[in-house]
Amino acid sequence: MKSRLLVLAPPVASLIMAFVISSIVLLISGANPLTAFSNIIEFGFRPNTLVETLNWSTPLYLSAIAVAIGFRMNLFNIGVEGQYIIAAFMAAQVGHVVSLPPVLHVSVIIITAMVVGGFWAGLAGLLKVTRNINEVISTIMLNSIAVGGVVSYLLGVWDVPDPGLDTALGDIPPSGQFPSLNWLSDAVVGETRSDTWGFVVIAIVVGFAYHYMINRTSLGYDLRATGANPSAAEASGVDPKRTIVIAMVLSGMVAGLVGLPELLGASHSYSLRFTQGLGFGGIAVALLGRNHAGGIAIAALLFGWLGRASGVLEVRGDAPREIISIITGVIMLSVVVAYAIAERYKRIEEAKAAASLTGAES
Amino acid sequence: MAESAVVPAVLLEGITKRFPGVVANDEVELRVESGEIHAIAGENGAGKSTLMKILYGMQKPDEGTMTVNGLMVDFSSPTAAIEAGIGMVHQHFMLADNFTVLENIILGAEPMSGGDRIDFAEARRRILEISETYGLTVDPDALVETLGVGERQRVEIIKVLYRGAKILILDEPTAVLVPQEVEALFHNMRDLKSEGHTILFIDHKLDEVLEIADSITVLRRGRTVVTVKPEDVTARDLAELMVGSELPTPETRESTVRDDVVLEISGLTVEGSETEVSITNIDLSVHAGEIVGIAGVEGNGQQELVEALLGIRHASSGSIHLDGEDIGHWKVRRIREAGVGYIPEDRHRRGLLLDAPLWENNMLGRQQQEPFVKHGFWIDPKAARAHTEDLIDRFDVRTPNVEVPAHALSGGNQQKLIVGRELSADIKLLIAAHPTRGIDVGAQAAVWDELRAARAAGMGIILISADLDELIGLSDRIRVMLRGQLVAQLDPSEVTPRDLGSYMTGARTTA
């Protein structure tokens, strides 16, 4: 009972704190917080917003899982951004060029994205183990190389059609598109303007795979042990270099999937309008979700929802939509604080429990 | 001193301190005469630290009275205790590394001149005065980060004296010191005593207690057992008072050494980096059923030898054979799986995942083996928990259950978990580095028992220890390590700790 309360208290407390602080910010900016929040909630629970929330939570979720794999062994893969963009780009081109039967076509695209993402992140891993280059620096630089270098260069090389300013790769034919889940969303919330992207199914599979890999395999154990205590892990037989490369590659493979919900569900081609920033969003989601598959899902849905529902503030003139950035920022901060407090409390409780058996406290 | 000898410096009566679920001090009685050195002995968790924290005003007793120099006191904070002339030197030093000795000493008690300026000249004068009076040599202008442990301790003691303490509490002052530094500390303590100071100190090491203390109070499970004079007891008596039962010794006399060689190191050389010792041309063999003790002052290459044996670092020349197989270029995991167990010198750094539950800690080192993992990949939590439950029973690890994170256990129980983990595996060679460091007498005896049993069962053991009695008591042979080389081979039945000490410092080199 007590322990369950301990699990729920921090997120609830931080949401309340975020609500209070955001209200103050809204008041300062001259808006009525009650109107603003009721507008967000009213708009946020419209069927179309819910579908879009799910759609945009999917890439955030994948991105956060990619980041979390690194976090579990104290690797900070800040390069999910570049990994998913270069992966989506390559996958879009492969999807456009090859012609295969439906399921196979999609599979080839997915595998391409994972291989490219894994390779791109693996570079950072190799740099770390061979040249001792901090992965934060190398992945940031690889982001720029991916987006500014490789993608720009290949757009030129492949001589893609250039309708106006929006340079785009060719379309992926229907055999390479991911089936939508409209039938399901229609049944649950009614018909909506937006399609429901089917890729969420893959994200759920990835979530389970992540959970089992981390908690139930010796590889996951090695990753966690290295993250928790590198010296002890090494003495226990974990090869630190190998584990770093494996973790980076796995992280990159998941990162490679981040662009696919959009690519296979809506845009069907890579263009300069392709959504960016999901890699950085994933860092926040992974932190909020405490690197836990389920926690990340909730955090991704929350962030996805806030992102979608916030548009209404601007439309109705309540407040600039940047207020949502403030809210998400405040949630992040309060979560960190709330968990730190809960952690301290838990440690004290555990120490007491163990001490009561040894007879005395020293 | 002016005080009459009949008024005790400290008198604690009926002190009781409860923590949720635990009685740390249960009607403790303590009488410390003015101007004496009084030792508080007891196992880990006997309530020594709690009692000292109460006396120093860090914790308030639930019941009982305290008198200092005949006056009833009730400290609300250490500040109040300091005002009453009590000072405490903590086990973990509280010094700012990037400050000088002088700055550290006056921090928070700066002498002022002209209102807002620190009077450094006055501070220096007083520090040098204290330093001279008690033979506590320090350089006031040295940066603390450049100081060794013994010097840091002197700074802490001066800090306390600078604040006018007449009653000093030293919490395990010798735990961090090498033998020579201990002697220096004892010298300082005697000087302090002759100047009329009263010293209360906590110690595990009974021979030290007997050497320096004027009286000894033994605590067990939060209660005062007895206060004795050192001339009336032996170290064994004291240990038995602390544990409350008959005590085993580290002796293992009848040989179980077999013919088969488990480990054969020849000509092993490992390059160190600038800050590390390199080990050169080491020859060492360990037979089944044999404990080979390695004596040496820390930092003479023991760490490098252990890492070479485990495959964490590789030799530049020479060979290591385990059961006849050349393991010189194997990776750590292969070596561990081939049957090498390791009790690390620092259990927090090398031996445990502090935030992980005990059952996951029990897997450490065997995270690809049955029964913890099936098919070398899938963790079987049920089997791992069951194995851990057996282990905590067999090795008497005191814990509510196997889900408790390792950091919640006391040091002795953490160590029993590690020893159990390594010995319950199917191993041929055990590398035991300081296996009983920082644990109480009860846990120490348990670890010795296990090592003896493993030896009798035919395991080869390399025992690295700073506890010379332990080395002499347990080992079949002792080698001495000095500056990266094995310099002497000694027979533990003939060598004394004193001899061993002179080999360790290089004063003697051949047997």
- pLDDT recorded at residue B315: 87
In this prediction, residues A265-294 reach a mean pLDDT of 88
Give Rg (Cα) of chain B.
Answer: 25
Q: Inter-chain contact A355–B22, Cβ cutoff 8 Å?
A: yes
Q: pLDDT for B292-313, tens place per residue?
A: 999 887 778 888 899 999 999 8
Asked whether the beta carbons of B296 and B504 are under 8 A apart, the reply is yes
Q: Name the closest residue on chain A to residue B310, using Cα atoms.
A: A235
- pLDDT recorded at residue A5: 64
> Taking phi first (over 0 means left), then psi (-120 to 50 degrees means alpha), and beta for anything else, what does residue B226 get?
beta
In this prediction, residues A281-306 reach a mean pLDDT of 90
Spatial separation of the C-alpha atoms in residues B5 and B32, rounded to whole Å = 11
Position of tokens 């990835």? A206
Asked whether the beta carbons of B89 and B160 are under 8 A apart, the reply is yes
Burial string for B261-295 (b: 16+ CB within 10 Å, else e) reads: bbbbbeebebeeeeebbebbebebebbbbbbbbbb
CA quadruple B70, B76, B77, B83: dihedral sign: negative
Strands B71-73, B63-68: pairing is: antiparallel
- Closest CB to A236 among B44, B334, B367: B367
For residue A126, tell me if it sits in a domain: yes
Asked whether the beta carbons of A258 and A62 are under 8 A apart, the reply is yes
Q: What single-letter amino acid sits at A226?
A: T
DSSP state at residue B325: E
Spatial separation of the C-alpha atoms in residues B431 and B433, rounded to whole Å = 6
A91-105, A204-218, B430-444: segment of lowest average pLDDT:
B430-444
Spatial separation of the C-alpha atoms in residues B409 and B413, rounded to whole Å = 6
pLDDT band at B203 (very low <50, low <70, confident <90, very high): confident
Asked whether the beta carbons of A26 and A33 are under 8 A apart, the reply is yes
**Using N-to-C axis directions, what is the helix angle for B149-162 and B179-194, rounded to 10°?**
20
Instruction: Pick the residue of B332, B335, B346, B396 with the most A CBs within 10 A to test the interface with A by mutation.
Output: B332
Asked whether the beta carbons of B314 and B329 are under 8 A apart, the reply is yes
Q: Inter-chain contact A356–B333, Cβ cutoff 8 Å?
A: no
Domain enclosing residue A91, as ranges: 58-309
CA quadruple B157, B158, B163, B165: dihedral sign: positive
Spatial separation of the C-alpha atoms in residues A12 and B356, rounded to whole Å = 26
CB contacts < 8 A, A to B, total: 146
For residue A217, tell me if it sits in a domain: yes
List the structure tokens of B307. Answer: 């890492």
pLDDT band at A325 (very low <50, low <70, confident <90, very high): confident
Phi/psi of residue B4, each to 5°?
-75, 145
CA atoms within 13 A of residue A281's CA, in its CB half-sphere: 25
Spatial separation of the C-alpha atoms in residues A224 and A57, rounded to whole Å = 26
Q: Inter-chain contact A358–B19, Cβ cutoff 8 Å?
A: no
CA quadruple B348, B353, B354, B358: dihedral sign: negative
Task: Give contacts of A224 with chain B, Cβ < 8 Å.
Answer: 353, 356
SS3 B201: strand
Q: Inter-chain contact A239–B332, Cβ cutoff 8 Å?
A: yes
- Closest CB to A358 among B312, B335, B413: B413
Angle at B206 between CA B204 and CA B212, to 5 degrees: 105
Spatial separation of the C-alpha atoms in residues A83 and A63, rounded to whole Å = 10
A163-177, A211-225, B119-133: segment of lowest average pLDDT:
A163-177
In this prediction, residues A335-340 reach a mean pLDDT of 80
- pLDDT recorded at residue B226: 87
Asked whether the beta carbons of A312 and A323 are under 8 A apart, the reply is no
Q: Name the closest residue on chain A to residue B414, using Cα atoms.
A: A354
In this prediction, residues B243-253 reach a mean pLDDT of 60
Please say if the pLDDT value at position A206 is more than 70.
yes
Q: In terms of pLDDT, which residue wins out, A22 or B273?
A: A22
SS3 A330: helix
Q: pLDDT for B266-276, tens place per residue?
A: 999 988 776 67
Task: Give contacts of A225 with chain B, Cβ < 8 Å.
Answer: 353, 356, 364, 367
Spatial separation of the C-alpha atoms in residues B140 and B149, rounded to whole Å = 16
- pLDDT recorded at residue B381: 92
Angle at A87 between CA A65 and CA A159, to 5 degrees: 160
Q: Inter-chain contact A358–B45, Cβ cutoff 8 Å?
A: yes
In this prediction, residues B186-215 reach a mean pLDDT of 88
CATH class as words, domain B260-339+426-511 = alpha beta
- pLDDT recorded at residue B2: 45
SS3 B66: strand
In this prediction, residues B211-237 reach a mean pLDDT of 87
For residue A332, tell me if it sits in a domain: no
Three-class SS of A159-221: CCCCCCCCCECCCCCHHHCCCCCHHHHHHHHCCCCCCCCCCHHHHHHHHHHHHHHHHHEHHHH
CA B48 to chain centre: 16
Q: Inter-chain contact B413–A234, Cβ cutoff 8 Å?
A: no
Spatial separation of the C-alpha atoms in residues B294 and B474, rounded to whole Å = 11
pLDDT band at A335 (very low <50, low <70, confident <90, very high): confident
- pLDDT recorded at residue A21: 85
pLDDT band at A1 (very low <50, low <70, confident <90, very high): very low
For residue A213, tell me if it sits in a domain: yes
For residue A153, tell me if it sits in a domain: yes
CATH class as words, domain B10-243 = alpha beta
CA torsion, points A241, A244, A248, A254, in degrees to nearest 10? Answer: 130
Q: Name the closest residue on chain B to residue A225, using Cα atoms.
A: B353
Q: Inter-chain contact B333–A358, Cβ cutoff 8 Å?
A: no
Q: Quick count: other Cβ atoms within 10 Å of Cβ B207?
A: 13
Q: Name the closest residue on chain A to residue B360, using Cα atoms.
A: A221
Q: What single-letter amino acid sits at B282?
A: I
CA quadruple B258, B260, B262, B265: dihedral sign: positive
- pLDDT recorded at residue A351: 67
pLDDT band at A361 (very low <50, low <70, confident <90, very high): very low
If you write DSSP's letter for every residue of B421-445 in order, what string do you get? HHHTS--SEEEEESTTTT--HHHHH
- pLDDT recorded at residue A86: 94
Name every residue whose Cβ is closer than 8 Å to that of residue B27 and which is 6 or more positions away in sequence: B14, B15, B16, B63, B64, B223, B224
Number of domains present in the structure of chain A:
1
Please say if the pLDDT value at position A115 is more than 70.
yes
- Closest CB to A357 among B334, B344, B400: B400
For residue A200, tell me if it sits in a domain: yes
pLDDT band at B465 (very low <50, low <70, confident <90, very high): confident
Asked whether the beta carbons of B195 and B33 are under 8 A apart, the reply is no
Query: What is the average pLDDT value for chain B, to the nearest integer?
Result: 85
Spatial separation of the C-alpha atoms in residues A167 and B288, rounded to whole Å = 74
Query: What is the average pLDDT value for chain A, to the nearest integer?
Result: 86
A212-216, B41-45, B366-370: segment of lowest average pLDDT:
B41-45
CA A318 to chain centre: 29
- pLDDT recorded at residue B45: 67
Q: How far is CA A70 from CA A3, A147, A169, A226, in A?
A: 28, 22, 31, 11
Spatial separation of the C-alpha atoms in residues B289 and A2, rounded to whole Å = 50
Instruction: Pick the residue of B22, B336, B349, B393 with the most A CBs within 10 A to test the interface with A by mutation.
Output: B22
Q: How far is B192 from chain A (nearest CA, A)?
A: 27
Q: Inter-chain contact B47–A360, Cβ cutoff 8 Å?
A: yes
Position of tokens 């033998």? B179
Q: Inter-chain contact A352–B21, Cβ cutoff 8 Å?
A: yes
Task: Give contacts of B24 with chain A, Cβ < 8 Å.
Answer: 360-362
Overall residue count recorded for chain B in this entry: 511
Task: Give contacts of B375 with chain A, Cβ < 8 Å.
Answer: none
Percentage of residues of chain B with pLDDT beyond 70: 94
Position of tokens 């890439």? A59
For residue A318, tell me if it sits in a domain: no
Task: Give contacts of B378 with chain A, Cβ < 8 Å.
Answer: 216-218
In this prediction, residues A13-24 reach a mean pLDDT of 83
Please say if the pLDDT value at position B225 is more than 80.
yes
Task: Give contacts of A226 with chain B, Cβ < 8 Å.
Answer: none
Phi/psi of residue B469, each to 5°?
-65, -40
Three-class SS of B143-169: EHHHCCHHHHHHHHHHHHHHCCCCEEE
For residue A314, tell me if it sits in a domain: no
SS3 B21: coil
- Closest CB to B21 among A231, A234, A356: A356
Q: Do domains B10-243 and B260-339+426-511 have the same CATH topology?
A: yes
Contacts 24+ apart (CB under 8 A), B483-489: B483/B277, B483/B300, B483/B301, B484/B272, B484/B277, B484/B278, B484/B279, B484/B280, B484/B300, B484/B301, B484/B304, B485/B279, B485/B280, B485/B281, B485/B282, B485/B301, B486/B282, B486/B283, B486/B284, B486/B294
Q: pLDDT for A77-113, tens place per residue?
A: 999 999 999 999 999 999 998 888 989 999 999 999 9
CA torsion, points B396, B401, B403, B407, in degrees to nearest 10? Answer: -50
Please say if the pLDDT value at position A360 is more than 60.
no
Phi/psi of residue A100, each to 5°?
-140, 165
List the structure tokens of B507. Answer: 């004063």
pLDDT band at A4 (very low <50, low <70, confident <90, very high): low
- pLDDT recorded at residue B3: 44
Position of tokens 């348990």? B446
Domain ranges for chain B, please list them: 10-243, 260-339+426-511, 354-425
CA atoms within 13 A of residue B197's CA, in its CB half-sphere: 27
Task: Give contacts of A230 with chain B, Cβ < 8 Å.
Answer: none
CATH number where A192 lies: 1.10.3470
Please say if the pLDDT value at position A357 is more than 60.
no
A18-22, A100-104, A197-201, B402-406: segment of lowest average pLDDT:
A18-22
Q: Name the closest residue on chain A to residue B402, using Cα atoms.
A: A354
pLDDT band at A160 (very low <50, low <70, confident <90, very high): low
Q: Inter-chain contact A216–B367, Cβ cutoff 8 Å?
A: no
A32-41, A178-187, B108-117: segment of lowest average pLDDT:
B108-117
- pLDDT recorded at residue A269: 85
Asked whether the beta carbons of A306 and A328 are under 8 A apart, the reply is yes
Please say if the pLDDT value at position B252 is more than 60.
no
A174-178, A250-254, B2-6: segment of lowest average pLDDT:
B2-6
Spatial separation of the C-alpha atoms in residues A231 and A240, rounded to whole Å = 9
Task: Give contacts of B410 with chain A, Cβ < 8 Å.
Answer: 354-355, 358, 362
